[in-house]
Chain A
């Protein structure tokens, strides 16, 4: 297992450390519910340095990115970021990612930790255009500072006007006394805030400054368990659960990042799927009764026949209800459709709902 540059810091804070995607990561500090609440109401900081970072450079950088990604990266201007995915040749997804346009002919790709090697090999295999690729994953750290008070709490750490950075935009500037830091108005919680990319030897100083600057705003360190409940309340897909090598972006509800304004890997087949409609869809559901849906539980119809499977599920800390995502045949996918989740011996009734589960 690898450590992030902050693993010992997390241990000193009393975090429970678990192996995740090849890294020793803090899963919780004080408790998942209080951490979840902190991000929804105030501000929290996550060490998500396990995430992978690739730099794609050169005259043909955009050509390569356009080829491998589903969203249209030609729309990016310097200072903008874009959520996207890497379709495979068989209708599935290699990974989902964020693409940053750092400067002309230079793009930063941020990928899931569990997929770093797979993504690198995949993109490399498509690089017949001569783009330069660099894997920065081992050298860079990533902190997510999330919550409605993030802007106010962090403003003292930078000369940049944080309130002026729009969602999915970023600046490169000073932060916590260090120059050339990427301050990105992105995140995986739905509560606003920033993601901060820096070098490993800079992250301790930034972490300490962030906790100090946030102290008056009730900042707490937040673990991966709350990261999961926060993202699931928003209905954000988690690679390996809700999307994987066998799920298409269309059925996963990622049509909005699948742009047929250009050609990309498997775009013909995906466009055909979009036109004829997917046979199954990723739905969001809420239990009508008590219970907690979990990854892998069956979704059944009223006669007990299996119609699908839960891909993510939890007890929503904000709603205090069982919520989840899962794939069902399209005929069961309409909002307000009634389905059932098989929880041990019981088929617990559930209703298909609109995302997000939680609204501020």
Chain B
């Protein structure tokens, strides 16, 4: 199971990469492998400002629909639109080409509550 040490994680199996006040967000390798073939990623919250824990989108595998929860409050400034035609990138490269959104964070101190790679490893028992 690939869990890059430089990223932060949530209990909802999302990863967060913070650069300045912009956070890039996707789902973890563990999440994609549990979901199986991902066939649709729906994000209709671009340009909206949401609080942490609010639903920013949906990821659909063949048999399941899962909500995506925003790890950090802020404005959704970008959706990885290439996932509209190639949702399988989330399976193939969850931490790279399969990233989902970029958020302009309104309160970076919230990042302190995110999990480290080691904490996340412990959570999934990897």
Give every chain A residue within 8 A of B84 (Cβ-Cβ): 290
Flag whether A229 is at the interface (Cβ < 8 A): yes
Give per-residue flags for B57-74: 1 if the beta carbon is below 8 A from chain A beta carbons, else 0: 010101101000000000
Give every chain B residue within 8 A of A315 (Cβ-Cβ): 39-40, 60, 62
Q: Count how many pairs of residues, one from A and one from B, have CB atoms less than 8 Å apart in the complex.
A: 37
Flag whether A314 is at the interface (Cβ < 8 A): yes
Distance between A336 CB and nearest chain B CB, rounded to angstroms: 25
Contact B37–A31 (Cβ < 8 Å): yes
- Taking chain A's interface residues, is the majority helix, strand, or loop, or is none over half, making it mixed? mixed
Contact B44–A292 (Cβ < 8 Å): no
* A351 CA to B60 CA, complexed, in Å: 22
Flag whether B36 is at the interface (Cβ < 8 A): yes
Distance between B53 CB and nearest chain A CB, rounded to angstroms: 18
Q: A290-B84, A344-B58 are known contacts. Are A225 and B40 too (CB-CB below 8 A)? A: no
Of the listed residues A314, A344, A346, the one surrounded by the most CB atoms of chain B closer than 10 A to its CB is: A344
8 Å CB interface, A212-229 against B? 225, 228-229
Contact B62–A345 (Cβ < 8 Å): no
Contact B36–A28 (Cβ < 8 Å): yes
Q: Which residue of A lies closest to B55 (CB)?
A: A344
Q: How many residues of A contact B (CB 8 A)?
A: 19
**Cross-chain contact of B37 among A33, A294, A346 (Cβ < 8 A):** A33
Distance between A288 CB and nearest chain B CB, rounded to angstroms: 15
Give every chain A residue within 8 A of B62 (Cβ-Cβ): 32-33, 225, 229, 314-315, 317
Give every chain B residue within 8 A of A229 (Cβ-Cβ): 62
Contact B39–A292 (Cβ < 8 Å): yes
Give every chain B residue within 8 A of A314 (Cβ-Cβ): 62
Classify chain B's interface size: 10 to 19
Q: A344-B58, A345-B44 are known contacts. Are A27 and B37 too (CB-CB below 8 A)? A: no
Distance between B126 CB and nearest chain A CB, rounded to angstroms: 17
Flag whether A291 is at the interface (Cβ < 8 A): yes
Give per-residue flags for B23-55: 1 if the beta carbon is below 8 A from chain A beta carbons, else 0: 000000000000011011010100000000000
* A28 CA to B63 CA, complexed, in Å: 11
Distance between B37 CB and nearest chain A CB, rounded to angstroms: 5
* A317 CA to B40 CA, complexed, in Å: 12
8 Å CB interface, A318-360 against B? 344-346
Give per-residue flags for B67-93: 1 if the beta carbon is below 8 A from chain A beta carbons, else 0: 000000000000000001000000000
Of the listed residues B40, B60, B62, B63, the one surrounded by the most CB atoms of chain A closer than 10 A to its CB is: B62
Give every chain B residue within 8 A of A16 (Cβ-Cβ): 36
Task: Give me 19 other A-B pairs in contact (C-beta within 8 A), A228-B63, A294-B65 excluded.
Answer: A16-B36, A28-B36, A31-B36, A32-B62, A32-B63, A33-B39, A33-B62, A225-B36, A225-B63, A229-B62, A290-B84, A291-B40, A292-B40, A292-B60, A315-B62, A344-B42, A344-B58, A345-B44, A346-B44
Chain B interface residues toward A at CB < 8 A: 36-37, 39-40, 42, 44, 58, 60, 62-63, 65, 84
A-B CB proximity, top 8 nearest: A315-B39, A32-B62, A33-B37, A31-B37, A32-B37, A292-B60, A292-B40, A225-B63
